[in-house]
Chains A and B, each alone.
Chain A
Amino acid sequence: MKKYVFIVSACVTLLAGCACPPKDPEALRVYQETNDPLEPFNRGMFAFNMAVDNVVLEPVAKGYRAVTPEIARTGIKNFFKNLKQPVYFANAVFQLEGKQALSIAGRFFTNTLFGFFGFADTASEIDIPVYEPDFGQTLYVWGIKNGGPYLVLPVLGPSNPRDAIGWGADSLMAPLDWALKGEPVLLYSKFAVESFSKREGALEFLDSLEKGSTDFYATMRSMYRQNRKNKLENSNVIIGYDQVVKKKDYEFDFSMDEEFEEE
């Protein structure tokens, strides 16, 4: 229940806290490009998340790495990925993506039956493609193309109102979470182990991003939004092993020739 309270409170903040667009043309361009009218709130939340990360997530993730062999960590990562497949399946059905739904179902049954309940990724060994449609994406397919302004959620991180609602819907659909409903200790343990497992996999990446950035908040915002846009617009592209990437409507097809004289 608690997790939905903050989504609601975030929406209230959204309505209440919208800053006016700036008048200076350059500031206005940046304002529109970043779509972040809640920047002061978001920066505060980002700082809070970074503090939580520094104190809890990162040290635990490092400890977790120190005490477990890589093969066990990969197994645990696979196990949690497998648990998400029913949610992806539901979203593929909502989006009327039959081929994706079949792949996801095939992946789930292969890994559950022949991968020791999902600890081994047997599906990838036999080249079953990976699709990960979420409910935010479903809302996009259903017509909510504009997800709203950038929004940093507590602990969960970068999002926007549409994808925050999507995240809530996806959590409601997760079968194991339903099964553990009467067992809060198990439910929170599952959430904790999943978070540490995820954080462990991103240790070097996030570390080097932060090290290389003059404004980590802006870097994360930019990368999150580009990656998310790509995922939404190219939901039919197989993340597979033998694919020919065909993408349309490049976000990055911006001009790099701003008044540049050829020398």
Chain B
Amino acid sequence: MKKILSLICGVFLSVSVQAAEPSIMFINDLTDDIITNVLKSDDTQEEKFIRFKTAFENALDMKRIGRFVLGVYWKKATPEEQQAFLNAFIDFTTKTWADRFDLYTGQQIVFSGSRNAEGKSELYVDSTIENNPPVAVIWRLKQTKSGDFKIIDIIVEGVSMAMSYRNEYSAFLQKNGGKLPVLTQELEQKSADFKFSKK
């Protein structure tokens, strides 16, 4: 009973905060869209994947993330190599994330507020996925000049997705003489071989 009450309060809280904060509204719309049209959908995995990938590419600033993830290796690469990496990175990342759709069992997401990052046109949206134990998720956003939001990082229980990829890829590139095309090829290969897990 108490759980139901707190859930109702949570929903009201998130609704009232949303009204004031466009950044929360942005994340709320995105998660709503993914929950309704992807996670709860009965369509085939392929159809859900295409929908997810579209939402993913619209919501995330993948160029900025890709550049951060590669660090110095981005600067050393040619524009063609950068673009090829971005394509492979987006393709493989969306596939591995889409592979986890089955883990969703109806959890709700509750927003607790948003804050500006000091001295930058960046903000954080704080949220919790209701689970046992609950999972803290922070959305790092960048606001463009036209006022739109783009996600530049997602931090789950203190683990930044961008930082994790950066550490992983820099380890991979170090082992492979710092050659970006080798990483791109590896991602393309893994993406081509990828099979969605069965439930």
Give the interface of A toward B (CB within 8 A): 26-27, 29-30, 33-34, 121, 124-127, 130, 204-205, 207-208, 211-215, 217-219, 221-223, 226-227, 229-231, 234, 237, 239-245, 247, 251-254, 256-260, 262
Contacts and interface: CB of A to CB of B under 8 A. Distances in A.
Nearest to A226: B159
Contact of B132 (A124, A242, A251): A124
Given A214-B168, A214-B186, A227-B158, A207 B197 contact: yes
Nearest to B67: A260
B164 interface: yes
A258 B71 contact: yes
A212 B92 contact: yes
Given A125-B3, A214-B172, A208 B197 contact: yes
Interface string B184-195: 001100100010
A252 B155 contact: yes
Interface string B144-183: 0100000011010111101110111111101100100001
Given A243-B128, A245-B128, 13 more contacts: A27-B174, A211-B99, A214-B187, A226-B159, A227-B159, A231-B158, A239-B133, A245-B126, A251-B158, A252-B155, A252-B158, A256-B153, A257-B120
B41 interface: no
A221 B166 CA distance: 12
Contact of B158 (A214, A218, A230): A230
Contacts of A223: 159, 164
Contact of B96 (A211, A237, A259): A211
B50 interface: no
Contacts of B87: none
B169 A214 contact: yes
Contacts of B117: 253
A222 B163 contact: yes
B26 to A, nearest CB: 18
B77 interface: no
Interface of B: 2-3, 6, 9-10, 64-65, 67-68, 71-72, 75, 92-93, 96-97, 99-100, 102-103, 112-113, 117, 120, 122, 126, 128, 130, 132-134, 136, 138, 140, 142, 145, 152-153, 155, 157-160, 162-164, 166-172, 174-175, 178, 183, 186-187, 190, 194, 197
Contacts of A212: 92-93, 96-97, 99
Given A125-B2, A221-B167, A244 B158 contact: no
B157 A213 contact: no
A247 B113 CA distance: 12
A214 B190 contact: yes
B8 to A, nearest CB: 12
Given A227-B157, A256-B64, A222 B167 contact: yes
Nearest to B144: A262
B64 A30 contact: no
A241 B134 contact: yes
Contacts of B130: 241
Nearest to A222: B167
A127 B71 contact: no
Contacts of B65: 256
Contacts of B64: 256, 260
A127 B155 CA distance: 25
A223 B92 CA distance: 19
B134 A252 contact: no
A48 to B, nearest CB: 19
Contact of B72 (A26, A222, A257): A26
Contact of A241 (B6, B92, B162): B6
A227 to B, nearest CB: 5
